[in-house]
Amino acid sequence: MKKKLPVLFLLLFGALHLIEAHNPVWTKDIAPILFKHCTSCHNQSGLAPFPLISYDDAYFNRYSILSSIKNGKMPPWPPDPNYSHFVFERRLSADEIHLIEEWVGGAASYGNPIDAPTPPVFSNAPAIATPQLSLEIPEYTISSNKDVYRCFPIASGVNVDKFITAFECVPGNASVVHHVLVYADTAKTVLTLDARDPGPGYTSFGGVGSNSAVQIGAWVPGSRPTFYPKGMGQLLAKNATVILQVHYAPGSIGKKDRTRFLAKLESGPMRRLETLPLLNHLFSLTNGPLVLPANQIKTIKSQFRVPIQGTVIAVAPHMHLLGKSIKVWGITPKKDTLKVIRINNWDFHWQGSYLFPKAMVIPLGTTVYGEAVYDNTENNFDNPNTPPKEVRVGEATTDEMMLVYFTFAAYQLGDENLVLAPSEVTASRELKLDKLDLKIAPNPVRDQAQISFTLPEAEAIWIDVFDAQGRWMRSLAANQQSAAGLNQQELKLVDLASGNYFLRLRTQKGYGSAALIKL
């Protein structure tokens, strides 16, 4: 009998691999997709309503995952990839979607723990380790369970003109910060608004309440630091005030935040990047003014003739809650079409600034067009007015805007080859867990065995048992304090049916797994 057991072990695991070859499993197929595209928000301290770090997370939310993917809500990526592409696109390939469909529609099994990728852990540590500018908002306690847009003016402390060559936003509480827009302003308007509003900062929905404010940065969940091409930067004027407009998600009442803005600064000479709304509701509408009658869907058009040859590196459309779709393109003097951006399903809460993978050169005399559709009917779930009423231009939640910001510089020879795709320095805040060596002896086992593992330091452990399909069976340890070094623990399996199982060990800093055969 003893000689036959190794053969039996190999046959059983060989059968498992045959099953996996025909059906997607979490370890080899699904976990890598979720870790790559989803867990930057879907983690224990992230903004999403549930994590997707473990097999249990994915299994119990599998139908919601599939539904959200098929209806296009997740991952949240508004720009149409069939029109133009940008850096850090959050979208799944057709093959990845097919794997998830097959997994959910099949056994949704776990797979072999040996194949499991290292689970990601997300840290709030900044990627820009030595910023020349480091600003932090005062501690703010969120006072509403609805969407909150709070502006925090902070003196830059920079008394000479500098250029921002890289920046990042670091949310103080990633579970409540939905997005951040960063502005700079030399006027005193924002300080007056701040003084009128009790508590840190002031509330402002659309912009920051100052026409002279210039956008210098943005952050959405999953964002990485922005590093501008060498020799380029955005001007931070001397004695400017930096304003962080933070959008706090619904359901955040009572929670606290201290979001930070970090930047690398350089002195000139430098190619100056400008961020301007070249398409806007004030000067470039061709069928204006921007007035949206109640109970109507209306298209607003805009155009702008480019007076210089420019090099565009990023674009950022902006509308409010009635926005339904927006398309931006250019027609050159040679009648070539430049596809800038198209968003088929506008969502104000997922707006952002989009960086091109390669600079877009716009020739002198090009006409840039914008076409935005607004839905001011009761069918628009986001309509702030019930019943609908006429809406005009303004900063308030109930007002509207049509702006398209372009980040650009004057053209220089060779800009056609300027690659903006991320380099190795634009690392994410993802950290890797240590792999722990979990051993079981004897194995196969009848009624009891001993498990052993080594911890680099004293910490709490969790040990769980799963069947061959990845279904959770029982917990052997939950938040159990264990010493540094070698740990041993008795494993009693008298009431466990014969079959193939997996043990998973996890801590806050490491994980391990081992196969188990119960005779």
Which DSSP string corresponds to 368-394? EEEEEEEEESTT-TT-SSSS---EEB-
> At 23, is the pLDDT very low, low, confident or very high (cuts 50, 70, 90)?
confident
- List 256's β-bridge partners, or say none: 141
Which of 162, 168, 310, 165 is CA-nearest to residue 230?
165
Q: Is 286 helix (H, G, I), strand (E, B) or coil?
A: coil
Q: Among 2.60.120.230, 2.60.120.200, 3.20.20.140, 3.40.50.720, what is the CATH number of 276-416?
A: 2.60.120.230
Mean pLDDT on 450-479 = 76
Q: Which residues contact 152 (CB under 8 A, 6 or more apart)?
A: 137, 138, 140, 200, 201, 243, 244, 245, 246, 259
Residues in the chain: 519
Q: Could you give the CA distance from residue 215 to residue 224 in angstroms, rounded to a whole number?
A: 17
Q: Is 86 helix (H, G, I), strand (E, B) or coil?
A: coil
How far out from the chain centre does Cα 271 lie? 29
Q: Is 53 helix (H, G, I), strand (E, B) or coil?
A: coil
> At 423, is the pLDDT very low, low, confident or very high (cuts 50, 70, 90)?
very low
CA angle 212, 215, 220 (to 5 degrees): 150
> Angle of helix 94-105 relative to helix 62-70, nearest 10 degrees?
140
How would you classify the pairing of strands 485-492 and 296-305? unpaired
> At 218, is the pLDDT very low, low, confident or very high (cuts 50, 70, 90)?
confident
Identical fold for domains 123-269 and 276-416, yes or no, is yes
Mean pLDDT on 61-85 = 91
> At 471, is the pLDDT very low, low, confident or very high (cuts 50, 70, 90)?
low
> At 19, is the pLDDT very low, low, confident or very high (cuts 50, 70, 90)?
very low
Q: Per CATH, which fold does 123-269 belong to?
A: Jelly Rolls (2.60.120)
Q: Could you give the CA distance from residue 38 to residue 341 in angstroms, rounded to a whole number?
A: 23
Q: Is the pLDDT of residue 469 over 60?
A: no
> At 91, is the pLDDT very low, low, confident or very high (cuts 50, 70, 90)?
confident
Q: CA-CA distances (angstroms) from residue 413 to 51, 309, 364, 407, 410? A: 47, 11, 14, 18, 10
Q: Is the pLDDT of residue 425 over 50?
A: no
Predicted local distance difference test score (pLDDT) of residue 422: 54
Q: Is the pLDDT of residue 426 over 50?
A: no
The hierarchical CATH code for the domain 433-519 is: 2.60.40.2550
Predicted local distance difference test score (pLDDT) of residue 5: 46
**Lowest mean pLDDT across 56-70, 473-487, 501-515:** 501-515
Strongest mean pLDDT among 69-83, 146-160, 326-340, 441-455: 326-340
Q: Is 194 helix (H, G, I), strand (E, B) or coil?
A: helix
Of residues 286 and 512, more confidence is placed in 286
Q: Could you give the CA distance from residue 66 to residue 484 in angstroms, rounded to a whole number?
A: 41
Q: Is the pLDDT of residue 200 over 90?
A: yes
**Lowest mean pLDDT across 14-18, 71-75, 466-470:** 14-18
Domain positions in the chain: 15-121, 123-269, 276-416, 433-519
> At 509, is the pLDDT very low, low, confident or very high (cuts 50, 70, 90)?
low
Of residues 207 and 112, more confidence is placed in 112
**Lowest mean pLDDT across 39-53, 271-285, 438-452:** 39-53
